[in-house]
Amino acid sequence: MEQRTILEHRKPLQWGEQDPNRLKNTPVGMWAWLWQRISALAIIFFLALHLTLTYKPIIQFLLLMSVTFHAVLGLRVILLDFNIINVKYQKALIAGLGATGILMIAIIWTGIY
């Protein structure tokens, strides 16, 4: 006698209905891509502020943070694209590069001020 497994499917979403599991099911790579684009816009904004309001430490710090964040996510892309790091270690890669970025911000900032 054959056993059949019954597959359960959720009902399709209706027009305008939101998927309640959308945020938790979004891959970490998509979030990294989105935040890198946002940091690029922040770099442009803080660079314009830095050029108009020179020698303001808070603007310099925010520019340094956004450039470092953007660079860390860029390094993630390079390491994954050249298969230096396997994609299954992506979360650990983001955590390690994030910690390295925070360390670099601290070293640069204490060297400047």
What number is the average pLDDT over the span 35-40?
97
Structure tokens at 70: 């953007």
What are the extents of the domains in the chain? 29-112
Please choose, from the candidates 88, 85, 90, the residue with its C-alpha nearest in 3D space to the C-alpha of residue 31: 90
Q: Which amino acid is at 54?
A: T
pLDDT above 70 covers what percent of the chain?
94
What per-residue confidence (pLDDT) applies to 2?
Answer: 60
Q: How confident is the model at residue 103 (pLDDT cuts 50, 70, 90)?
A: very high
Q: Which of 107, 105, 7 is nearest to 61 (CA)?
A: 105
Q: What is the pLDDT of residues 53-87, one digit of tens each?
A: 988 999 999 999 999 999 999 999 999 999 999 99
This prediction has a pTM of 0.80
Q: Position of tokens 């994030």?
A: 98
CA–CA dist 83, 56 (Å, integer): 41
* Cβ neighbours, 10 Å, residue 112: 10
Confidence band (pLDDT; 50, 70, 90) for 4?
A: low
